[in-house]
């Protein structure tokens, strides 16, 4: 493998990990709101969260561009306050991947939260645990299989994100050119077929590894909870 | 004292509770399924919120509608044993036991070692809950609730989900815990068998209302409660002590205030307190001392009260001296024998009817009861028919 493949692979792994980590706390919070709260705007929130699943990725990328670009108020504020610029940067790729992967993670976590036996939470409270204590000592551990498979799914989806990334963060080598963008670039380059094929093989190997790991983790945690 | 005076409408159920329970011993809440027993203890636990009234346990007010007091579940200091154990699957048995212990405030009166010993949990500590049998699970759940250092233990049909052998396995542990740990227990059950083995105080719950409350033997002996208890299960409860065993015939002789009873052998040392439930339908009556019958349990007394029932039955309460015994006979027999309040009669109970399901530990010696004093002289006029 040459430099192009390595750069793309490392960047993709970095983006996948960062986007998964960024999604996780918000996904748990949103799953909680959707599953447990009696929030008045619940249906609306549900719709917004799931929009990236049904909208063309380019649309998401464009929406990100007009809201977080350096000339948009939010983007300008981010830049002046924290010195963070999202367009044309790896951070921007992370945000685009996170937005696209978010609904997948929320779905998996929400399902696991729905399957948590409320009776166990009541039992924990009779044993002296406050609501917050119950969340950390009972609810989250019981959600672990769903949290892990949600995280793996978000990671895999982030690796493959293309449309929103190229629209929002552009295609800059070493900065925003992840595996799919590198494949696209190779196919647009004369004599790029060999590179493209190697990148495709790499992507497939990564996908298989991610799915295998996800299945294994899921089985392990389910067994840990005594579900077979 | 435990003061429960509250109400709550829950769908079709209109829960109206008004009872005062002793702050020691086991108080059973007995009633059919759907009578509101579980909702009642859930209100005590803080899981169900009443819409009016007051819940007070000792000095602590759990709920008071007028002053707006409503302690959250975790602040009530109660232990709760659920019908379905509800062990945490992500923790080992030891982790489950420690869960409440770690969060217990104040002085710890229930020790780890005593709980593990009394409930026989030693060899289970490293196991995971889903590897346990139903009976083991329930024992762990009881231990977990005790180690939480509760000031009141709530048990919601802890045996109902177990099959008969598992029930027989867990019941002695519950009998023991009420003796070993001085702790008031509210025990919900629809099984009169469990209630008579475990309870000191009985509350009958029917259609959301607490219709009777009092000392177990007292409530059980009143014929007006028979329809609520069930015609086939209603009867009397006698506190006895083991007198002696007859190994040749595998029989045990028990003594109570008004005489003796012979029952199939029970494995307890002489002097041990036991409680015997005698179903009214297992008691026959005779006008004179019956001779030439196989029945050995023959006790003389006087008819105290006759309550005709629907159909062919009549409930007869016989005063044996200091205790009463209830007999369910036909109205026809009642008329044929010319029974009236005051008529002297002999009561007869087959030993065979008093099997292990009817005989259990008496959990705490009652100093007021002469039956508990083994060296008390036999009352004259109470012949030891069992000899």
Flag the least confident range among A32-36, A108-112, B66-70, B102-106. Answer: B102-106
Task: Kindly list the distances between the CA atom of residue A125 and the CA atoms of A115, B80, B156, B314, B320, in Å, as whole numbers in the listed order.
Answer: 19, 10, 16, 49, 50
What's the CATH fold of domain A3-224? Answer: MetI-like fold (1.10.3720)
Please identify among residues 83-122 of chain A the ones whose CB lies closer than 8 Å to any CB of chain B: 117, 119-120, 122
- Is B250 in contact with B264 (CB distance < 8 Å)? yes
Please identify among residues 44-73 of chain A the ones whose CB lies closer than 8 Å to any CB of chain B: none
- Is A45 in contact with A38 (CB distance < 8 Å)? no
Instruction: Note whether B99 contacts A226, CB cutoff 8 Å.
Output: no
Q: Indicate the burial class of B124 (C-beta count within 10 angstroms; 0-12, 13-18, 19 or more).
A: buried
Name which of B60, B61, B40 is nearest B50 in CA terms: B40
Question: Which has the higher per-residue pLDDT, A227 or B159?
Answer: B159
pLDDT tens track for B181-204: 878 999 999 988 888 888 889 999
pLDDT tens track for A172-188: 988 999 999 999 999 99
Instruction: Note whether B80 contacts A123, CB cutoff 8 Å.
Output: yes
Residues 6+ apart with CB under 8 A from B271: B241, B242, B374
Name which of B52, B239, B89 is nearest A145 in CA terms: B89
pLDDT tens track for B70-93: 999 999 999 999 999 999 999 999
What is the distance between the alpha carbons of residues A21 and A25, in angstroms, rounded to a whole number? 8
Please identify among residues 72-111 of chain B the ones whose CB lies closer than 8 Å to any CB of chain A: 72-74, 77-80, 82, 84, 86, 88-90, 99-100, 103-105
What is the distance between the alpha carbons of residues B158 and B139, in angstroms, rounded to a whole number? 9
**What is the overall mean pLDDT for chain B?**
87
Coil, strand, or helix at residue B278? strand
List phi, psi (to 5°) of A120. Answer: -70, -35
Nearest CA in chain B to A128: B74
User: Domains in chain B, start-ordered, CATH in brackets?
Assistant: 2-221 (3.40.50.300), 235-361 (2.40.50.100)
What is the distance between the alpha carbons of residues B179 and B173, in angstroms, rounded to a whole number? 10
Of A123, A129, A225, the CB nearest to B82: A123
Residue A29 has pLDDT above 90, yes or no: yes
List phi, psi (to 5°) of A133. Answer: -60, -45
Please identify among residues 120-149 of chain A the ones whose CB lies closer than 8 Å to any CB of chain B: 120, 122-130, 133, 137-138, 141-142, 144
Residue B291 has pLDDT above 80, yes or no: yes
Nearest CA in chain B to A126: B74
Helices (H) and strands (E) in chain A, counts: 11, 0
Nearest CA in chain B to A142: B90
Nearest CA in chain A to B145: A127
State the pLDDT confidence band at A125, using cuts at 50, 70 and 90. Answer: very high
ipTM score of the complex?
0.86
Coil, strand, or helix at residue B203? strand
Of A120, A122, A126, the CB nearest to B88: A120
Residue B133 has pLDDT above 80, yes or no: yes
Average pLDDT on B376-384 reads 38
Tokens of A62: 């464009």
Tokens of B365: 């010696």
pLDDT at B70: 95
Nearest CA in chain A to B132: A226
Residues 6+ apart with CB under 8 A from A100: A52, A57, A60, A157, A158, A161, A164
């Amino acid at each position: 493998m040459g430099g192009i493949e390595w750069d793309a692979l490392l960047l993709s792994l970095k983006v996948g990990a960062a986007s998964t980590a960024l999604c996780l706390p918000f996904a748990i919070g949103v799953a909680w709101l959707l599953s447990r709260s009696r929030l008045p705007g619940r249906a609306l929130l549900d719709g917004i969260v799931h929009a990236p699943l049904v909208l063309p990725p380019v649309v998401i990328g464009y929406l990100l561009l007009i809201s977080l670009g350096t000339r948009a108020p939010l983007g300008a504020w981010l830049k002046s306050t924290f010195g963070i610029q999202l367009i044309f940067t790896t951070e921007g790729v992370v945000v685009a991947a996170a937005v696209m992967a978010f609904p997948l993670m929320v779905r998996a976590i929400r399902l696991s939260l729905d399957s948590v036996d409320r009776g166990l939470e009541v039992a924990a409270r009779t044993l002296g645990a406050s609501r917050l204590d119950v969340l950390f000592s009972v609810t989250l551990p019981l959600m672990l299989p769903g949290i892990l498979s949600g995280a793996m799914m978000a990671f895999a989806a982030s690796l493959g994100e293309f449309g929103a990334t190229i629209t929002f963060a552009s295609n800059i080598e070493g900065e925003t050119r992840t595996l799919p963008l590198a494949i696209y670039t190779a196919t647009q380059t004369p004599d790029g077929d060999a590179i493209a094929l190697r990148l495709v093989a790499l992507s497939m190997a990564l996908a298989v590894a991610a799915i295998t790991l996800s299945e294994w983790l899921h089985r392990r945690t389910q067994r840990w909870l005594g579900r077979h | 004292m435990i003061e429960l005076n509250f109400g709550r409408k829950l769908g079709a159920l209109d829960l109206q509770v008004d009872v005062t329970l002793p702050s020691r011993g086991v108080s059973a809440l007995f009633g059919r399924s759907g009578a509101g027993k579980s909702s009642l203890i859930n209100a005590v636990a803080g899981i169900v919120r009443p819409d009016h009234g007051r819940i007070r346990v000792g000095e602590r007010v759990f709920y008071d509608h007028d002053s707006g007091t409503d302690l959250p579940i975790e602040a009530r200091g109660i232990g709760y044993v659920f019908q379905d154990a509800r062990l945490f699957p992500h923790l080992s048995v030891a982790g489950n036991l420690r869960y409440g212990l770690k969060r217990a405030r104040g002085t710890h009166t229930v020790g780890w070692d005593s709980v593990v010993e009394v409930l026989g949990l030693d060899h289970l500590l490293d196991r995971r809950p889903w590897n346990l049998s139903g009976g083991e699970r329930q024992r762990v759940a009881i231990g977990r609730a005790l180690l939480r250092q509760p000031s009141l233990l709530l048990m919601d049909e802890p045996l109902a989900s177990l099959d008969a052998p598992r029930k027989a396995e867990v019941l002695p542990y519950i009998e023991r815990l009420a003796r070993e740990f001085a702790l008031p227990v509210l025990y919900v059950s629809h099984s009169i068998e469990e209630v008579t083995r475990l309870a000191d105080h009985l509350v009958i719950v029917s259609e959301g209302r607490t219709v009777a409350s009092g000392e177990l033997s007292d409530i059980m002996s009143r014929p007006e409660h028979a329809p609520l208890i069930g015609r086939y299960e209603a009867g009397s409860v006698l506190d006895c002590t083991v007198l002696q065993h007859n190994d040749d015939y595998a029989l045990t002789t028990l003594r109570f205030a008004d005489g003796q009873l012979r029952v199939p052998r029970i494995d307890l040392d002489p002097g041990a307190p036991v409680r015997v439930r005698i179903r009214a339908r297992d008691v026959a009556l005779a006008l004179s001392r019956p001779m030439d019958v196989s029945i050995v349990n023959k006790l003389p007394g006087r008819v105290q009260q006759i309550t005709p029932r629907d159909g062919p039955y009549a409930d007869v309460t016989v005063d044996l001296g200091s205790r009463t015994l209830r007999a369910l006979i036909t109205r026809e027999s009642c008329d044929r024998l010319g029974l009236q309040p005051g008529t002297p009669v002999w009561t007869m109970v087959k030993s065979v009817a008093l099997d292990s399901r009817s005989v259990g530990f008496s959990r705490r010696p009652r100093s007021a009861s002469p039956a508990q004093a083994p060296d008390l002289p036999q009352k004259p006029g109470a012949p030891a028919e069992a000899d």
